Structure 1
Amino acid sequence: MDTLLDDGVLSDKEKSNLDRFVSFYSDQFKKLKAKHGWDVVSEIDNIQDGEQYQRFIKGAILSDIINGRPLEKRFTINESPIIFPKGESPLWLFNNVGYFTYKTKTEYRGSSDGISIRIAKGLYYRTGSFKGNPIRTEVLEKKKDGSLILTTKNIYFYCGGSLEKTPLSKIILAQTFADGILIQKDGMREKPKIFKHVDSWFISNVISNHENIP
């Protein structure tokens, strides 16, 4: 699996070989269970939930996208909080995702509260106060934890009843990190969004090739 996915994408031949491999061994486990009563069904579940098997599914999805083929139904969400419009399908769900964005912080430097100057007995003159020069800085701030749903058309972030949608077609920058991704949506007032604890390799490849999705 590591060797086949070394370049990040499965060729048609590699995909076909892996499909047969997984199918063959899944059938063998089931036959052993039926014949000997061994508790091997859990082993099949472990394979399908494992990181390597998930990489295989993601590689197969990317292979279909890059080649402009109709996407096979490889991933489903059992209890999705989103009703997807016709023609839009989920590609992957990431849970326990940290959502960060930049917040503009303004502080004033060189400010003064003013002073009182005595002119005569009982008579004072007070100079005016001023805030000084505004200094604005961008500070990275964690907004919340939630679920990120990547579909054929959008990136959704869902948390506690609130939902944010970012169309793939509007993303002008996707910068990957070891365990996260920064995306920048087109628009003068749009600020970068950072999502941690996701597969940045998979998401960035879907974004880069989204125009090939039927």
Structure 2
Amino acid sequence: MQPAAHVEVEVAPKRLSRRQAKRQGRDSFETTALAAAHGDQTALEALPALVADAERHYKAKEWEQRRWDTLAIAIRDVVDDDVLTEAEERELFRLADALDLDLQTLAVRDMAVFEELVIAGLNDGRLPTVDAPVMLKSGETARATFGVALMKEVTVREMRGGSHGVSIRVAKGVSYRVGAARAKSVVVGTQMQVQDVGVLTVTNQRAIFTGDKRTLEFRYDKLVGMEQFSDGLRLNVSNRQLASLFRFSASSSPAIAAAFISRQE
């Protein structure tokens, strides 16, 4: 009896679902983008094809966000050591170009990542020079400008305890009021109000606020306190009794301002 002939049957590869294809394309896209961010030339050259393939799985707005998220992941991976070298910065710009993104608009898209990127560059010792809206002293260099509002704390009061009393008629056309009491003004709290609006210029020697109503100078050799908030910065100098609180505009960063001031060149 002859043994049965062995027949090989080709099995068609299982077709990936849309979700699986999207995940596979996304993983390959992100992995290659990270490699490109670290200077892998092969990855950078392969990225355009992967970008085109990944784009097919997303809607327009979703795809734009996906690219920005990928760039943010790459940036944080590169500056994980809190330092951004010139070479690393060049690679990030090349990655942004490959993703068809403008790295200059990162502050608008993701301020937190932008802050990390700028501060990492400062940690590498690379300090920018900008035009200043103030007269600079000899040897002074403007590093950055920020749109801010000078705030002041004001006391909130309200009237309490007043009474109209009771009117008693004692004769025709004559009445007498008893029990009336004046209301008293009492403090019920405080609130912050805008005192002035202007620009905070940070130089290598001082910070200068130039507003519509006043100008304030904060020399670093007289700086005795600095407190950073999520949207503001408080500066205290020894030659001024009260600290000055600045609220930063949405496009300005108190973290970056504090980083410049902390260097105190």
Class of the TM-score when normalised by the shorter of the 2 chains? 0.5 to 0.7
Shift of 1:83: 0.2
Per the alignment, residue 107 of structure 1 pairs with 158
Distance, in Å, in 1 between the alignment partners of 2:223 and 2:187 is 31
Per the alignment, residue 87 of structure 2 pairs with 17
Letter in 2 for 1:139: Q
Letter in 2 for 1:15: T
Letter in 1 for 2:190: E
Aligned-partner SS, 2:130? coil
Distance, in Å, in 2 between the alignment partners of 1:193 and 1:113 is 44
Q: Number of residue pairs matched?
A: 174
For structure 2, which runs of at least 5 residues remain unmatched after alignment? 1-74, 95-99, 107-112
Which of 1 and 2 has greater Rg?
A: 2
Per the alignment, residue 134 of structure 2 pairs with 82
For structure 1, which runs of at least 5 residues remain unmatched after alignment? 26-42, 65-71
Distance, in Å, in 1 between the alignment partners of 2:241 and 2:166 is 42
Distance, in Å, in 1 between the alignment partners of 2:223 and 2:130 is 25
Per the alignment, residue 78 of structure 2 pairs with 4
Distance, in Å, in 2 between the alignment partners of 1:151 and 1:114 is 63
* Aligned residues: CA RMSD: 4.1
Distance, in Å, in 2 between the alignment partners of 1:101 and 1:90 is 26
Aligned-partner SS, 2:78? coil
Matched, 1:194 2:231: no
Distance, in Å, in 2 between the alignment partners of 1:76 and 1:196 is 19
Q: Is the 8 A contact 2:118 2:256 kept in 1?
A: no
Give a deviation string over 1:68-100, Cα, whole Å, max 9, x none: xxxx662221xx3200222432111234x4554
Shift of 1:184: 4.6
Aligned-partner SS, 1:5? helix
Letter in 2 for 1:147: V
Higher strand share: 1
Q: Is the 8 A contact 1:155 1:166 kept in 2?
A: yes
Give a deviation string over 1:45-88, Cα, whole Å, max 9, x none: x66x4548996555333443xxxxxxx662221xx320022243
Q: Is the 8 A contact 2:223 2:236 kept in 1?
A: yes
Distance, in Å, in 1 between the alignment partners of 2:248 and 2:179 is 50
Per the alignment, residue 59 of structure 1 pairs with 120
1:94 to 129, 142, 146: 146
2:234 to 176, 183, 189: 183
Over 3 Å counting, the alpha-carbon distance change for 1:113 and 1:158 in structure 2 is farther
Identity %: 16
